[in-house]
Amino acid sequence: MMRYDWKIEKENGLMLLIDKPKDYSSAKIVNIVKKRLNVKKAGHSGTLDPRATGLLIVCTDKMTKSLNELLDCGKEYEGVMIIGEITGSFDGETEVTKKLPIDNITNEMIYNTAKEFMGEIEQLPPMYSAVKYKGKPLYKYARKNQLVERITRKVLINKFEINKINLPEVHFTVGCSKGTYIRTLANDFGEKLGVGAYLKELRRLKIGDYDVRNSVTLEDFLLINPRIVNN
């Protein structure tokens, strides 16, 4: 019988490692799993933005008890920032609102700026996020051009590696604690450089010890016979 590294059986439930494609919400992936496997209860290990790709862990039935533990795990991402441009959402979801010249930006400046974010830092959640204010997610206020009060939170950056620089693109890998917004990190990175930046691409590589390399694509998951998954 074929062995599925992306499927973990325990406590009368399943833990599935899904490679989320772009333009799918995390909630939509959960609903697809529920319908495909005909289960009533399922949840995911932490929201991954619709525009992002990568590891999403979906638990079913009694395995959903593991979700709180997974939510507390550290995460690892790889992404691409665009230097010298600013958007309201800190990523490509909204239009560029400001452009600044980057002729003075050197590779050394970029490497040194990454070092400044290492360790415990404070982040202000972006307006385009699911953080709630008076019972409503912030993105609903943002889409009405309403700015509301937000509280900074402490997060831990334990890895910030610059993989490639091809201005205006900067490719990077980040290891961080739960609750870290990589979009905010990109925006703050641009502010420190003095020219702005936004997150163009994002892919989640790891959640704790679980790696996207052991995951199944959504396309392949849908091709698998549900009886095989549930046996």
Contact of 126 with 94, CB cutoff 8 Å: no
- Is residue 49 annotated as a catalytic residue, yes or no? yes
Catalytic hit among 19, 49, 91, 188? 49
How many residues in total does the chain contain? Answer: 231
Q: Can you say how many angstroms the Cα of residue 150 is from the centroid of all Cα atoms in its chain? A: 20
Residue whose C-alpha is closest to residue 60's, from 4, 3, 18 = 18
Residue whose C-alpha is closest to residue 203's, from 87, 94, 56, 96 = 56
Q: Are strands 96-99 and 119-123 parallel, antiparallel or unpaired?
A: unpaired
What is the set of active-site residues?
Answer: 49
